[in-house]
Chains A and B, each alone.
Chain A
Amino acid sequence: MAAGDNTTTGETLSAALAAKEVEVTCFPEELREECDALRARYETPRAALMPLLWAFQRRYGYVSREMERVIAEELEIPLIWVRETVTFYTMYNQRPVGSHHVQVCGNLSCTLCGARETIRMIEEELGIAVGETTADGRFTLSVVQCLAACEEAPMMQVNDRYYGRLDRQRVREIFGGLE
């Protein structure tokens, strides 16, 4: 049930996810301006690390080991500082995930309102189990901890949007409306 398990370790990447891998061997020029702004905003280079990791993830969908090295060199901080932060925070994907990352809340308020059945239903709808990605690389399914939307239980987050009061019909509508 642990959040992020499918985004950190596990089996070899499927072909669809492997196709999303990006090679980044030097600091990307397109992120230069943002990086400079971050360094000016924060007191130390290390403090700019989390926002810079977010910038990489927004651009590439994940943070690879190679990117960790590139970031460490850019900020002139030890690689281990980057590594320990990437691995501590579950929201940094260490490998590519599906285009739509479906994260269903499994905490108490949602469970009281049927989250367990919702999770099984979404597994059926997507044809995958929690922790897996569909063969076409479109959907990755995770169970996560409370997302602070208990008033709309049971709920899920798909990429940057929250969806509440889930039932089968609504889930079908939501998934059908995605690219």
Chain B
Amino acid sequence: MSAPKLLSANFGSEVSHRLDHYLERGGYDEARRVIAEVEPEQVIDQVKRAKLRGCGGAGFPTGMKWSFIPKGGDKPVYLAVNADEGEPGTFKDKYILTYEPHMLLEGMLICGKAVGCHKAYIYVRGEFDLPIERMEQAVAEAYERGYLGADVMGTGFPFDVVVHRGGGAYICGEETALLESLEGKPGHPRLKPPFPALVGLHGCPTVINNVETLALVPHITRLGADAFLKLGVESQGGTKLYCVSGHVNRPGIFELSPSVTLRALIDDYAGGMRDGAKLKAVIPGGLSAPVLRPDELDTEGSFEGLKQVNSMLGSAGLIVMDESVCMVEAMHTIIQFYAHESCGQCTPCREGTGWMRRIVERILAGHGRAEDTANLDSIARKITGTTICPLGDAAAWPVMGFVEKFRDEFEYFCKNGRSMVSGEKVGA
């Protein structure tokens, strides 16, 4: 199970964010070699064979995404790096931006070569002051020393990078909302098609990749596709960053093979349950992933593994809950978030999230009605698949999961006007 630390070896370092430190570790060697010697199709083919999957949440094959960019068009191609890490329970990209900004830049350069892109934007969530500072410093250093700019490392390949600060909107982590935001507009997701690979930023072909995804790219070209694939599982190459938070002894970030089971992640890496408490539930892939019960944790922590238990790996943010948690209360925290972050563009999401929030608040106040549990499930189901972007689904899935797996707690609260767990009504 011990995987090499491709990304996380220097997390916590005082110096790893500096260019010289990165160069001492062989940094930018891969970008130089790939830009000078490797054909774009070969790079894309290697990334495909390495089975790199998008680490932002969807798990889409990165090589395939790159291959959608038209070749030889007359419009510029853009790369938008999604560093808007906002999925609750997720905090991995923050570490890469803070401790390995040059690794990200190197991955971006290789992507640039692969898709014929010469300008990239890094969209960082607005609250990330230190990560933004580190990223801006890395970009400035790279320009100064010729690793970015009109002639990258003497190869004649031009590549510009702009660090763009977001404004505190969860929705901008959705790729087309992110593009709108990069154009200075409110983050309202776009209808697809057309897909960003053809009509993206400023109407031009655009690749949108997550930070972790791109930071893995130099390791693929260095190790080779086969060796990279072997670090992972059959359907997903390389290592994966897992974020574990909640009721565990050692919350934190762990870089592991996706063959790791969720149970091992919690017990062996995150130090097991806090205060020896009994495990009740795990949200495995960021807040929107359907919740799992303790008997479902022997599943493999890969994109395919989580599908087997009708949930998703998503952004690999595990939120661990012990038996003291009232699931109706937890549901309130969750639905409140989505109601707040819905951009308001689509009626089912805008109205549905608020409606579900009001129902949960009514239950918590001790005024739940017999039909409330069924209504929560029914409203959630009517949101899925009916909105422009996946925020609607992201709000509906946790509700459906909670109601399905902890239905008795919801029904008890509605019937008795108090929590099955704490025995109290909570008010809202």
Q: Which A positions have Cβ atoms within 8 angstroms of B?
A: 1-4, 41-44, 46-51, 53-54, 81, 84-85, 88-92, 106-109, 111-113, 144-153, 157, 160-162
Given the complex, which residues of A lie within 8 Å of B245, measured CB to CB?
Answer: 109, 112-113, 150-151, 153
Task: Decide if B167 touches A92 in the complex (CB within 8 Å).
Answer: yes
Q: A92-B167, A148-B91, A150-B245 are in contact. Are A112 and B183 (CB under 8 A)?
A: no
Task: Decide if A41 touches B330 in the complex (CB within 8 Å).
Answer: no
- B246 partner, pick from A3, A48, A92, A113, beta carbons under 8 A: A113
- Give the size of the chain B interface in residues (CB under 8 angstroms): 53
Nearest chain A residue, comparing its CB with the CB of B133 = A160
Given the complex, which residues of A lie within 8 Å of B104, measured CB to CB?
Answer: none
- A4 partner, pick from B168, B187, B251, B333, beta carbons under 8 A: B168
Task: Decide if A88 touches B169 in the complex (CB within 8 Å).
Answer: yes
How many angstroms between the C-alpha atoms of A46 and B186 in the bound complex? 11
Nearest chain A residue, comparing its CB with the CB of B188 = A88
Q: A107-B333, A112-B246 are in contact. Are A90 and B168 (CB under 8 A)?
A: yes
Interface residues of B in 103-142 (CB under 8 A from A): 125-130
Task: Decide if B129 touches A47 in the complex (CB within 8 Å).
Answer: no
Q: Which B positions have Cβ atoms within 8 angstroms of A?
A: 85-91, 93-94, 125-130, 162, 164-170, 181-187, 201-202, 243-247, 251-253, 283, 287, 317, 319, 321, 325, 330, 333-334, 336-337, 340-341
How many angstroms between the C-alpha atoms of A43 and B120 in the bound complex? 12
- B321 partner, pick from A84, A112, A144, beta carbons under 8 A: A112
- Distance in Å from the Cβ of B172 to the closest Cβ of chain A? 8
Task: Decide if A91 touches B340 in the complex (CB within 8 Å).
Answer: no
How many angstroms between the C-alpha atoms of A50 and B126 in the bound complex? 11
17 sample A-B contacts, Cβ–Cβ < 8 Å, listed by A number: A1-B340, A42-B184, A44-B183, A49-B184, A85-B185, A89-B169, A91-B167, A108-B287, A109-B251, A112-B319, A145-B340, A146-B88, A146-B89, A146-B337, A147-B127, A148-B94, A150-B317
Nearest chain A residue, comparing its CB with the CB of B94 = A148
- B91 partner, pick from A106, A144, A150, A161, beta carbons under 8 A: A150
Q: A89-B169, A153-B251 are in contact. Are A42 and B162 (CB under 8 A)?
A: yes
How many angstroms between the C-alpha atoms of A1 and B130 in the bound complex? 26
Given the complex, which residues of A lie within 8 Å of B184, measured CB to CB?
Answer: 42, 44, 46-50, 81, 85
Q: A89-B126, A148-B94, A150-B245 are in contact. Are A108 and B334 (CB under 8 A)?
A: yes
How many angstroms between the C-alpha atoms of A78 and B111 in the bound complex? 36
- Distance in Å from the Cβ of A107 to the closest Cβ of chain B? 5
- Distance in Å from the Cβ of A158 to the closest Cβ of chain B? 11
Given the complex, which residues of B lie within 8 Å of A148, measured CB to CB?
Answer: 85-86, 90-91, 93-94, 125, 127-128
Task: Decide if B164 touches A46 in the complex (CB within 8 Å).
Answer: no
How many angstroms between the C-alpha atoms of A3 and B187 in the bound complex? 17
- B94 partner, pick from A90, A108, A145, A149, beta carbons under 8 A: A149
Given the complex, which residues of A lie within 8 Å of B340, measured CB to CB?
Answer: 1-3, 145
How many angstroms between the C-alpha atoms of A5 and B191 in the bound complex? 30
How many angstroms between the C-alpha atoms of A34 and B325 in the bound complex? 50
How many angstroms between the C-alpha atoms of A16 and B328 in the bound complex? 41
Give the residue among A41, A91, A148 with the most B Cβ atoms within 10 A. A148
- A88 partner, pick from B90, B128, B167, B243, beta carbons under 8 A: B167
How many angstroms between the C-alpha atoms of A151 and B246 in the bound complex? 8
Task: Decide if A85 touches B186 in the complex (CB within 8 Å).
Answer: yes
Nearest chain A residue, comparing its CB with the CB of B172 = A89
